[in-house]
Structure 1
Amino acid sequence: MLNDYEKRIKAACAVVYDVARRTPLDAAPGLSEALNNEILLKREDLQPVFSFKLRGAYNRIAQLSEEEQARGVITASAGNHAQGVALAAQRRGIKAMIVMPKTTPRIKVQAVRKLGAEVVLHGNTYDDASAHARTLVEQTGAVYIHPYDDPDVIAGQATVAVELLEQHPERIDAVFIPVGGGGLIAGMAAWIKQHRPEIKVIGVEPDDAACLYVALEAGERITLPHIGIFADGVAVRQVGEEPFRVVRDLIDEVVLVSTDEICAAIMDIYDDTRAITEPAGALAVAGIKKYVAREGLQGACLVAVNSGANMNFDRLRHVAERAEIGEQREALLAVTIPERPGSFREFCKTIGERGITEFNYRYSDASEAHVFVGVQLNGSAEREELIAKLKGRDYPVVDMTDNEMAKIHVRYMVGGHSAAMVDHEQLYRFEFPERPGALLRFLKHMGQGWNISLFHYRNHGAAYGRVLVGIQVPPAEQGRFQAFLDEVGYPYWAEQDNPAYQLFLS
């Protein structure tokens, strides 16, 4: 088997550079220091279509006969293979039709159309699109270009490994490779194990789309009933037949990572390279971090394949919010506090000088209130310490850090209309310099004379924090309250006439 792929891969090396570039193998100094290992990044995100996929697509299309080229090509893809096929077909003057899931990020759909291919959006997953593409092949007679289950595609992807070993002839302990259908890891494993068998080849999959992991566990390919689509580039229900045949006896293991761990890896890559990878592109780095933590590894040379960078800009908001949790640098807590003047400030004093990423509170009834708070931490141990401290002060606490519904939905739904009448409520928006402890200092300025009936704060990573506060100020206290506003020294805006407040909060 390896000898057969040796010939195919060498032949692919003579073809793929018509469209592909030899991508750099970059050091990741920040990751290396943090993990106490040498971390290197194989930068396939720097390809012309921002993904390794054009290597295999072009190698396969280059093998077509003139008669097959005249019939045109069809493929199914979540985006990166689609761009590879579209570019390859454009260079060869071949008609291309690409079937893509409706869930494919807009940036990938637009990129394919710009390369001159016809796009058909069908289904919600790669498997839906693949089934429809097969139907179109029967109807049109076009040649199907499989994204991973084809020896020529696999050989094209293997050129990543050829470059890697040429670029780093020194010791490499392990190479971490993202896995969707398995074409990339099959090609790279075939080359690495033939030429440097001492190097571990480790696949990385999302824990909600682990098709290779379950296949290796079962000893046969398994079709997953459901898969997550956050890492859309690897959202595949079943590993390819040919990739599984190749890798089952070659790779060393598969590491599974969570959405939060993927988001943290995207941030790590950005910190070292100022490049933003897509979720599938950051899988390998997430796998390295998990593997190093599990093994207690130090002083090793570990390579991650950054497989793609086709990220919709609007997804960055989600990535940024989940990255801190993935790094265990943020805890999300639901805390019940007594409803009385000054209790909110006392709660903030218990949290102390820790940075606050988010605060959501709305008056509910006369006895107690529920606060949803995000707190900056230095690891899971500090989270446990904080929870224990709060419980020691008799605050009921529920840890929401690993609660998916809370992270996706509840944190944005806290608040709303108060269940009880809130007398004399005034609504103000404040800005203050953002630094640890700034929120507590703001509350200390207020004193204990007025009850806080609404509070919302989110740290946006800016120089200034923004707080929305509802305060119950009886008419007789209005003069003293105005004096507070004048003395606090922060810019403020009265918002009780804002229609958003009147419709949704008052």
Structure 2
Amino acid sequence: MTTAAALPTDDDAEATTDLLSRIRVARVYEVAQESALEPAPLLSVRLGHRVLLKREDQQPVFSFKLRGAYNRMVQLDAAQRVHGVIAASAGNHAQGVALAAAKLGIHALIVMPVTAPQVKVDAVRRLGGAMVEIVLVGDSFSDAQAAAVQLQAERGATFVHPFDDLSVIAGQGTVALEILRQHPGPLHAVFVPVGGGGLLAGVAACIKSLRPEVQVIGVQAADADAMARSLEAGERVMLDEVGLFADGTAVKQVGAHTFALCQQHVDAMLRVDNDAICAAIRDIYQDTRSVPEPSGALALAGLKQYVAAHGASSDGALVAIVSGANMNFDRLRFVAERAELGEQREAVFAVTIPEQRGSFRRFCAALGQHNITEFNYRIGDASQAHIFVGVQTAGRGEREALVAAFHAQQFGVLDLTDDELAKLHLRHMIGGRSLLAQDERLYRFEFPERPGALTCFLSQLHPDWNISLFHYRNHGADYGRILVGIQVPDAEQPLFERFVATLGYPYVDESAHPAYRLLLRG
């Protein structure tokens, strides 16, 4: 956990007082509603602590973002309104701008990445109607923002920043005013999802001004942790790449205003992985029968991580802001698969047993009464058999006990529960080892998921190198994941490594991965 708060200066105190005044007069309720602060009874029992969910996913655009967008746009003067506004967004901010544009009669040009979830693009068109023009550019929010800056210079429109604007921050800060009004009793901590930092900055500044004893903890996806890294470094950090699963918070660099405010007011930052996010989505569904988007479940994933590290407490409730529910339906398949892993309710192993009578019976005895979620086996050679197995567990303790049981039978075992290669690819393609892949190199790639993207990737592979293994599975997300085995003679390895580096896709060399060598390599 990253500790974030810095000692305030006189200038900081003045800026915070000014921001609190802005929050108190923010004009958000012309479009937004005061969202519910709901108990989560099932989670509260499980965690031994009262858990409350701030339901920003129930806003008219299914996200908190309309608060800041409207508060910024309603303050435009007559001349600015004539020239219109421009915004860049992966989706939720765009919906807020679109709704504000329709409400205020202001033309809005909204630049979105090609990879933006279709549900968000369609919502922007529906909310903005004739007042909104959409341009799809690039693969990320950063690409869209660069294009928006260029278009702004050409058109003279006012740029409505998704997070690094004091009026936007003030609009988002009204969430904190509501929390404090709705729960005047003991409050231990508020957990806030973080992308560029607008919501966290506004919430933290407000809470620390009015209830300084309440902890404010930001939560980021582990592969999009720009704010956490910036606070650790003491300056804004630019990430080379960001993971896109939690697309609403996939920001490479946080804002200047948001960084300064978070540096002053935020108590700590937490990082959570995709499995933990999926588990939190399921938790919210079980308590509310609502399905948040990945970024919308970030705060709860962090809350659960915090309780696991610090234990149950009776010194006040814990609040998680459920920030949005703009989920592509197809993505639910991936969420359901990974939620069990995120909750430590499924363990995945590769087990090697002797190819002899009685081995399989001993393997089943080691499993005991555990429910099997997946089982893949194919005879490998005359002496050994390799099994890929998924098992329902009640936590890390049972997982470790299973490993010990396998070892007691003198079976070789790889615990793959936390292994991304195994969870994404290997579990879907176990089919035996190949004796024809002696010179095979194995790489895992990510690429923007859009029509023709996979064909485009394949067309860039060098025609002189043979593809010996390939796995792709559509996860309903805005980026694709593939696993590729390519046969490359030893003499051509330097040339191949230079080639891979020029492809332009994030990649991981998995050639030495133990599960690959055990289950698929000859």
| TM-score bracket relative to the smaller structure | 0.7 to 0.9
Q: Assess if the C-alpha contact under 8 Å between 1:337 and 1:368 holds in 2.
A: yes
Within the candidate set 275, 278, 290, 1:260 is matched to 275
Letter in 1 for 2:55: R
Please, which runs of 5 or more residues in structure 2 have no aligned partner?
1-14, 437-522
Secondary structure at the aligned position of 2:192 is classed as strand
Moved more, 227-236 or 360-369: 360-369
Query: Paired residue for 2:227?
Result: 212
C-alpha separation between the residues in 2 aligned to 1:217 and 1:11?
33
Query: Paired residue for 2:421?
Result: 405
Query: Paired residue for 1:242?
Result: 257
Within the candidate set 19, 28, 41, 2:40 is matched to 28
Q: Assess if the C-alpha contact under 8 Å between 1:364 and 1:419 holds in 2.
A: no
- CA displacement 1:253-302 (0-9 Å, x = unmatched): 11111111111111111111111111111111111111111112322311
C-alpha separation between the residues in 1 aligned to 2:404 and 2:415?
11
1:127 aligns with 2:139: no
1:82 aligns with 2:98: no
Within the candidate set 194, 203, 208, 2:218 is matched to 203
- Deviation, 1:368, is 2.2
Letter in 2 for 1:5: L
Letter in 2 for 1:79: G
Structure 1 residues 330 and 84, CA gap change in structure 2 (3 angstroms): same
Within the candidate set 2, 13, 25, 1:11 is matched to 25
Instruction: After TM superposition, list the pairs within 5 Å mapping 1:296-335 onto structure 2.
Output: 296-299=311-314, 300-335=316-351
Secondary structure at the aligned position of 2:217 is classed as strand
Instruction: After TM superposition, list the pairs within 5 Å mapping 1:63-462 onto structure 2.
Output: 63-115=75-127, 116=129, 117-299=132-314, 300-340=316-356, 343-415=359-431
Letter in 2 for 1:64: L
- Deviation, 1:225, is 1.6
Moved more, 164-173 or 110-119: 110-119
- What is the TM-score of this pair, normalised by structure 2? 0.78
Letter in 2 for 1:62: V
Q: Assess if the C-alpha contact under 8 Å between 1:57 and 1:88 holds in 2.
A: yes
Query: Paired residue for 2:456?
Result: none
Q: Assess if the C-alpha contact under 8 Å between 1:335 and 1:370 holds in 2.
A: yes
Secondary structure at the aligned position of 1:248 is classed as helix
Secondary structure at the aligned position of 1:147 is classed as coil
C-alpha separation between the residues in 2 aligned to 1:234 and 1:42?
18
- CA displacement 1:304-327 (0-9 Å, x = unmatched): 100001111111111111111111
Identity %: 58
Q: Assess if the C-alpha contact under 8 Å between 1:280 and 1:307 holds in 2.
A: yes
- CA displacement 1:173-225 (0-9 Å, x = unmatched): 11111110000011111211111111111111111111111111111111112
Q: Assess if the C-alpha contact under 8 Å between 1:364 and 1:418 holds in 2.
A: no
Query: Paired residue for 2:479?
Result: none
Within the candidate set 61, 65, 88, 1:49 is matched to 61
Q: Assess if the C-alpha contact under 8 Å between 2:379 and 2:432 holds in 1.
A: no
Secondary structure at the aligned position of 1:16 is classed as coil
C-alpha separation between the residues in 2 aligned to 1:310 and 1:73?
23
- Deviation, 1:417, is 9.2
- CA displacement 1:17-40 (0-9 Å, x = unmatched): 111011000000111111111100
- CA displacement 1:77-119 (0-9 Å, x = unmatched): 1110010001110111122121112222111111112222322
- Deviation, 1:416, is 6.5
Paired residues in the alignment total 418
Q: CA RMSD in A?
A: 1.6
Q: Assess if the C-alpha contact under 8 Å between 2:362 and 2:409 holds in 1.
A: no
Q: Assess if the C-alpha contact under 8 Å between 2:221 and 2:273 holds in 1.
A: yes
Q: Assess if the C-alpha contact under 8 Å between 1:77 and 1:98 holds in 2.
A: yes
C-alpha separation between the residues in 2 aligned to 1:374 and 1:88?
49
Letter in 2 for 1:319: V
Q: Assess if the C-alpha contact under 8 Å between 1:35 and 1:298 holds in 2.
A: no
Secondary structure at the aligned position of 2:330 is classed as helix
Letter in 1 for 2:254: V
C-alpha separation between the residues in 2 aligned to 1:404 and 1:123?
27
C-alpha separation between the residues in 1 aligned to 2:41 and 2:155?
51
- Answer with 1 or 2: which has the greater Rg: 1
Letter in 2 for 1:383: R
C-alpha separation between the residues in 2 aligned to 1:349 and 1:330?
18
Q: Assess if the C-alpha contact under 8 Å between 1:362 and 1:418 holds in 2.
A: no
Letter in 2 for 1:4: D
Larger relative contact order (CA 8 Å, sep ≥ 6): 2
Query: Paired residue for 2:11?
Result: none
- Deviation, 1:340, is 4.5
- Deviation, 1:341, is 6.1
C-alpha separation between the residues in 2 aligned to 1:65 and 1:306?
33
- CA displacement 1:436-486 (0-9 Å, x = unmatched): xxxxxxxxxxxxxxxxxxxxxxxxxxxxxxxxxxxxxxxxxxxxxxxxxxx
- Deviation, 1:74, is 1.1
C-alpha separation between the residues in 1 aligned to 2:134 and 2:421?
34
- Deviation, 1:342, is 5.9
Structure 1 residues 343 and 119, CA gap change in structure 2 (3 angstroms): farther
Secondary structure at the aligned position of 2:425 is classed as helix
Q: Assess if the C-alpha contact under 8 Å between 1:363 and 1:418 holds in 2.
A: no
Letter in 2 for 1:177: V
Secondary structure at the aligned position of 2:264 is classed as coil
Q: Assess if the C-alpha contact under 8 Å between 1:180 and 1:235 holds in 2.
A: yes
Query: Paired residue for 1:59?
Result: 71
Q: Assess if the C-alpha contact under 8 Å between 2:87 and 2:161 holds in 1.
A: yes
C-alpha separation between the residues in 1 aligned to 2:118 and 2:318?
33
